[in-house]
Amino acid sequence: MSKFSEIINKDIPVLVDFYAEWCGPCKTMSPILKQVKDNLQDKVSIVKIDVDKNQKLAAKYQVKGVPTLVLFKNGKQVWRQSGVLQKNELLSIITQAN
């Protein structure tokens, strides 16, 4: 848990993708997240968290469905949404958080 706190406590936005290997929509999100990272490069950090392997963390952030995306800035949650989002939606949300 403390390592996760270090990861999300950055000056740049940190987008956390809570996902599961068995989840179809999560597989859809992977290439979208890669495009977002390619676009924003060092202006965002993207972290993938497998809810099956990190159940305590998923419970702490009340992740009920996957994929759930949570955006952190300086360790604080600034946005979250479940389900698949398009690249442009994510780019706009992350840019606003910067």
28-59: burial string, b at 16+ Cβ within 10 Å, e else: ebeebbeebeeebeeebbbeebbbeebeebbe
- Active-site entry in 8, 26, 32, 63: 26
- Active-site entry in 12, 23, 47, 91: 23
Clarify whether 26 is annotated catalytic: yes
Q: What are the residues facing 77 on neighbouring strands?
A: 72
Q: State how far the Cα of 21 lies from the Cα of 96, in Å rounded to an integer.
A: 30
Clarify whether 45 is annotated catalytic: no
Catalytic positions? 23, 26
